[in-house]
């Protein structure tokens, strides 16, 4: 018997390292996180190219090591945009047909290889047509029509089931909600079918939305796709309608579809009233396919919506069925993605800008470089963490891209061109404007200057925000005049605006009787602005225009709002813990209370004048929690009805809750807590009968 020398002296047998296994595990974790951030959070952490490169690497490694196969691998299923919190109100429905992702490539050679491969797999005597389409960069949607009426609108979800966002889809004018049985030309429309497409935010609306978010010092959307995705998951269809989404449809399917080819379906869908891209081309040769790709690589930059590539599909449905599918994509289609345009340029300087809420934003000042038809001189660096992740140093050469081909962004540093002994870019420890030590909250990425009352950019920024069109609409108080009035010590805060005298203005260079009178008239006219806009104007951090409207509608007056508890604030739609804390902190400061008293004395509206009287006190102060999705009214409408009939909306279940108004897919945590506490659960129909 052989003696085991190490059995009793504490040594453990070492497992040999397996670098392929470790790399596979690393790639799976990175791709899973990237999928979650892209589909769920609408905040991508890597470029499409980086993601696709890692996915291709993982596919090759898994082919080499079949012993490491995992059904949970990102190679085996597409990313998922399913809502993680079913209490948000989206019903999840299984797709009738799996909604898969497309195989994609950035290589023209791989397009040629795919073309030859599918041709070789089909009978030689059959004619093969390829439909070439623009690949729109938005959010995939599946529209179900039953009896020619829009019945469901499902996001791709996890490919097997999706969120039904039909109420938001109904706000998109380009999507018909009811179809005729027969067209004027005598063609009949099937009763039941499914049509798939892409929901998009046009460039013009994307820029407008980001400008609003910039003014409110909210995080900017990285690109139109993220903006469209975030918009379609909102709970308030009225906000969705304001963002002016559009939708291009590109695939028709169903048992009743009377066509045998894809291009025939698209032509029919256009006649039925769906928005179908006019750029689609049916190609009969590889040369025609490549011509289409090369043409749109340039021309797509003139389109009103974002595109990121070309989709190629076998035209004949019978041939599609013959080619079949892989685990996550059809073999009869492929996407060619245009490579992002990028340029190498040198960092000249990093400057730090202070916004109206004190947030300090680093900006890269670059040697001018032409990118996507425009000259780029500056790019945002977001925050200190972003600078650190780049390991950015003085005079570095950096790669610059346009995020969504609109927003310049630095994607990498060219280390080969780094100067020896180059010093790292240091985020300032004190405010670059007033010298106050900067602070950073533990749950936020941004540094901010706490010197609200004396920091010049914050003073001027708050006054400019107060005077904007969507706030108090004081024409004549733009950036230039605000700077002038502050520098001349005529105003130092928003309340001072209502104390400006004509003689003070006439003493300024360039001011005449007419310009002074116009400004004073605009200031006087601003006193008629409704309470919701006043609430937005005073500049509570994180309280944008929409949130201000909801707070004003809920609490009806500033006096009631100031007394609201954190729980009462969070009972308002879209008001989370961060916003509630910010509101409480704002009203808790003595200097803000002083400003508000002066504004009230000046005559601003601190209460809503719209009637919201209790119709009938049938609920008699009942504390009601709303949970689930509803068919007769929206959640907001039910909240209004509860208040209208004398009830009180609360956000969480407690022993004081009178009952829960429960729709479909009620939150499981609320259901469990209600059962434990013995809280009554009322259905939608029972509630309507209760107040009728």
**Active site (catalytic) residues:** 135
Contacts of 98 (CB under 8 A, 6+ apart): 159, 160
DSSP 644-683: HTT-EE-SS--TT--EEEE-BT--HHHHHHHHHHT-EEEE
Q: In degrees rounded to 5, what are phi and psi of residue 139?
A: -115, 125
C-alpha 109/C-alpha 343 separation (Å) is 24
The alpha-carbon radius of gyration of the chain (Å, integer) is 30
Edge-to-edge strand ranges of the sheet holding 623-627: 648-649, 623-627, 659-662, 680-683
C-alpha distances out from residue 435 to 358, 431, 432, 450, 459, Å: 12, 5, 6, 11, 15
Beta-ladder partners of 182: 188
C-alpha 427/C-alpha 390 separation (Å) is 13
Residue 150 · residue 249 · CB < 8 Å? no
DSSP 158-174: TSSEEEE-HHHHTT-TT
Residue 549 · residue 555 · CB < 8 Å? no
Residue 577, Cβ density class (10 Å: 0-12 exposed, 13-18 middle, ≥19 buried): exposed
C-alpha 312/C-alpha 303 separation (Å) is 19
- DSSP state, residue 529: S
């Amino acid at each position: 018997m052989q003696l085991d020398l190490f059995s009793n002296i504490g040594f453990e047998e070492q497992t040999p390292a397996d670098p392929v296994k470790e790399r596979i595990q690393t790639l799976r974790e990175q791709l899973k996180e990237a999928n979650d951030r892209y589909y769920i959070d609408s905040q991508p952490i890597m470029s499409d190219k980086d993601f696709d490169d890692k996915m291709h690497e993982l596919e090759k490694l898994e082919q080499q090591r079949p012993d490491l196969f995992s059904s949970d691998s990102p190679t085996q299923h597409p990313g998922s945009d399913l809502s993680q919190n079913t209490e948000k109100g989206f019903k999840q429905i299984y797709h009738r047909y799996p909604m898969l992702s497309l195989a994609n490539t950035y290589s023209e050679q791989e397009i040629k290889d795919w073309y030859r491969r599918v041709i070789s797999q089909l009978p030689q005597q059959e004619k093969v047509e390829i439909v070439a389409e623009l690949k729109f960069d938005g959010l995939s949607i599946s529209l179900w029509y039953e009896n020619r009426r829009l019945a469901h609108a499902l996001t791709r979800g996890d490919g097997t089931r999706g969120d039904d966002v039909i109420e938001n889809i109904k706000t998109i004018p380009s999507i018909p909600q009811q179809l005729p049985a027969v067209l004027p030309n005598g063609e009949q429309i099937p009763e039941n079918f499914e049509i798939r497409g892409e929901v998009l935010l046009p460039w013009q609306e994307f820029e407008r939305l980001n400008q609003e978010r910039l003014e409110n010092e909210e995080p900017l959307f990285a690109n139109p796709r993220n903006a469209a995705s975030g918009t379609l998951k909102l709970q308030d269809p009225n906000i969705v309608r304001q963002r002016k989404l559009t939708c291009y449809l590109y695939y028709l399917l169903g048992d009743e579809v009377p066509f045998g080819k894809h291009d025939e379906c698209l032509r029919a869908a256009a006649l039925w009233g769906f928005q179908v891209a006019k750029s689609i081309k049916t190609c009969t040769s590889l040369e025609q396919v490549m011509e289409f790709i090369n043409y749109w690589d340039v021309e797509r930059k003139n389109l009103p919506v974002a595109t990121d590539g070309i989709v190629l599909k076998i035209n004949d449905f019978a041939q599609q069925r013959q080619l079949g599918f892989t685990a996550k994509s059809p073999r009869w289609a492929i996407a060619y993605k245009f490579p992002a345009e990028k340029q190498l340029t040198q960092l000249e300087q990093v400057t730090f800008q202070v916004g109206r809420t004190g947030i300090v934003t680093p900006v890269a000042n670059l040697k001018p470089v032409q990118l996507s038809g425009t000259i780029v001189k500056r790019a945002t660096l977001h925050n200190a963490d972003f600078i650190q992740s780049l390991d950015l140093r003085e005079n570095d050469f950096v790669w610059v891209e346009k995020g969504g081909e609109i927003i310049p962004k630095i994607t990498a540093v060219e280390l080969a061109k780094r100067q020896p002994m180059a010093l790292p870019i240091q985020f300032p420890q004190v405010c670059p404007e007033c010298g106050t030590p900067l602070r950073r909250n533990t749950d936020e990425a941004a540094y901010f200057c706490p010197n609200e009352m004396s920091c010049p950019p914050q003073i001027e920024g708050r006054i400019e925000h107060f005077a904007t069109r969507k706030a108090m609409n004081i024409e004549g108080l733009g950036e230039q005049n605000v700077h002038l009035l502050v520098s001349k010590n005529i105003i130092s805060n928003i309340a001072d605006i209502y104390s400006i005298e004509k003689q003070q203005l006439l003493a300024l260079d360039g001011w005449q009787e007419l310009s002074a009178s116009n400004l004073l008239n605009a200031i006087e006219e601003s006193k008629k602005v409704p309470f919701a806009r006043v609430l937005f104007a005073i500049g509570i951090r994180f309280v944008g225009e929409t949130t201000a409207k909801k707070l004003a509608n809920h609490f009806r007056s500033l006096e009631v709002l100031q007394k609201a508890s954190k729980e009462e604030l969070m009972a308002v739609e879209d008001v989370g813990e961060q916003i509630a804390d910010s509101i409480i902190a704002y009203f808790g400061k003595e200097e803000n209370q002083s400003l508000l008293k002066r504004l009230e004395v000046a005559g601003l509206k601190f209460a809503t004048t719209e009637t919201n009287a209790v119709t009938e006190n049938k609920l008699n102060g009942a504390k009601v929690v709303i949970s689930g999705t509803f068919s007769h009214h929206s959640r907001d409408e039910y909240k209004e009805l509860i208040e209208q009939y004398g009830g009180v909306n609360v956000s969480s279940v407690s022993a004081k809750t009178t009952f829960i108004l429960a729709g479909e897919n009620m939150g499981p945590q609320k259901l469990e807590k209600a059962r434990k506490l013995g809280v009554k659960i009322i259905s939608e129909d029972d509630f309507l009968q209760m107040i009728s």
